[in-house]
Structure 1
């Protein structure tokens, strides 16, 4: 397994070992001891699974209080996955990172606490999995505007399909400091 840093401190790109032959492949999606030895030492408390069709955009979500770190990956299909640093005093506050995750490339991203997270589906359908370091708390969830011009995410689609909650997302500049995480 290879764990690489990204331009945003704490956001990690993971390339798990994949063992394939003519029958298919085998891959560990999580092994606490191996991941810890490679530098990703977290305790996960909740696993989630999301199925979506092409053009769906989910996010950008974060929780405060009770932030969640997420180890995300795709079981079927392909997504463009995005993390935005919303840690108010971080040197990379308001910056984003995007990566294509797919069942083909087996990549994972670890999105640490203090980041907004979202993805859009670029294949016909996608089955998206994520492990969380904290429990989901709808009372502390916030939605960041998916196309906030001050952040400037270059999504691979122009008119995504959004949930009513995600259509109500706010620009990062509209969040009071106490709604954001601290680095």
Structure 2
């Protein structure tokens, strides 16, 4: 298992080994020694149907680092840099992850996270560095014209919360 940089400083691909045989496979998804002092006390799992977009979410206090692993299906995953002093503020990194991928996606604190389900259905596991606190949750507009995320579908299925995301300029 090793960490690989992405085009933005912070988010990383967690390259894993997959051990396959005629029965299926075994894949490690987490090793604490790769993350030093970061603790991950909270895990979440979501199930989505095709074209569901979840996000872009973050907590403004008790911020969360996340490790994203897809256990069923395929997603288009996005992390947007919202660290106030970052020279990459408002820039994003995206990738496609599936249950067949030999990696997970590490997203550090200060990034908004979202994904779109590309398969008929998908299950996504999140390992989080802090507990969820609805009081501090914020949603960045998924279609903010200043970010210009190239979502695979321009008419996603959204929750009310995700339809009402706030623009990037309100995060400065």
Q: Structure 2 length as normaliser, TM-score?
A: 0.96
Cα distance in 2 for residues equivalent to 1:162 and 1:107: 27
Name the CA distance, whole Å, in 1 between partners of 2:118 and 2:90: 24
Select the residue among 111, 115, 122 that pairs with 1:115. 111
Aligned to 2:11: 11
| Secondary structure at 2:151 match in 1 | coil
Q: Does 1:27 align with 2:27?
A: yes
The correspondence of residues 28-177 of structure 1 with structure 2, limited to 5 A, is 28-33=28-33, 36=34, 40-41=35-36, 42-175=38-171, 177=172
- What corresponds to 1:181 in structure 2? none
* Distance in 1, Cα, partners of 2:79 & 2:32: 23
- Would you say the 8 A contact 1:74–1:106 is kept in 2? no
Measure, in 2, the Cα distance between the counterparts of 1:59 and 1:114.
14
CA distance in 2, matches of 1:107, 1:157: 24
Aligned mates of 1:133, 1:2 — CA distance in 2? 19
Runs of 4+ in 1 over 4 A off after TM superposition: none
1:73–1:106 contact (8 Å) kept in structure 2: no
* CA displacement 1:94-137 (0-9 Å, x = unmatched): 00000001001132110000000000000000000010001100
RMSD over equivalenced CA pairs, Å: 1.0
* Structure 2 residues without counterparts, runs of 5 or longer: none
Structure 1 gap ranges (5+): 178-183
Distance 1:160 1:106 in 2: 27
Structure-2 separation of matches of 1:106 and 1:143: 29
